[in-house]
Amino acid sequence: MKLLKFFFVGTFFGIILSKSQAISWYRIYEMFRFESFHMYGIIGSAIVVGIILVQIIKQTKLKNINGEEVVFTPKKRGRYRNILGGIIFGLGWALAGACPGPMYVLVGQGSIAILIVLFGAMLGAFLYHLVKKYLPH
């Protein structure tokens, strides 16, 4: 039962990504060509509402489902990792037309080709941890 709530939020999220067409390769291409507001509207409005929700959580000291205060775990910092990793990710995002979330959603849509992309992504995550000691962070 503990896991079921995450499964349901995932399902909800998957339906949103699908119905907003954010999982479409074409939409990502169109976004990077600056020829549509659609994707900017989705990401932008998610962030604006997100900022408000995070502030509400902080101001009201909202308790989570376990009765504890919500913790905002920060991401790892580094002079190089965010920008270099980001650029590599961006190259893949525009080529695949999908980031990790949409990849899983497209598996549910029955795409065989996306399984290769997903396998590549797993391999990429694996390779990162194999060579990370040689990389600037």
Q: For the segment 54-93, give every residue that binds another protein (CB under 8 A).
A: 54, 57, 62, 64-66, 68, 70, 72-78, 81-93
Q: Is 1 in the site for another protein (CB under 8 A)?
A: no
Paired with 63 in beta bridges are: 69
User: Contacting another protein (CB under 8 A), which of 1, 47, 59, 134?
Assistant: 47
User: What whole-number distance in Å separates Cα of residue 82 and Cα of residue 89?
Assistant: 10
- Per CB under 8 A, the list member of 1, 7, 59, 134 interacting with another protein is 7
Give the shortest CB-37-to-another protein separation in angstroms.
7
> Minimum Å distance from CB 13 to another protein?
5
Chain centroid to Cα 6, Å, comes to: 16
Scan residues 90-109 and list those touching another protein (CB under 8 A). 90-101, 103-109
Number of chain positions touching another protein (CB under 8 A): 115
CA count, 13 A, side-chain hemisphere, 28: 16
- Considering only residues 9-38, where is the footprint of another protein by CB under 8 A? 9-33, 35-38
CB of 59 to another protein, least distance (A): 14
In whole angstroms, the minimum distance from the beta carbon of 134 to another protein comes to: 12
Q: At 63, phi and psi to the nearest 5? A: -85, 145
How many other C-beta atoms can be found within 10 angstroms of the C-beta atom of residue 93? Answer: 17
* Identity of the amino acid at 87: I
Closest to 92 (Cα-Cα) out of 126, 71, 118, 58: 118
CA 91 to chain centre: 15
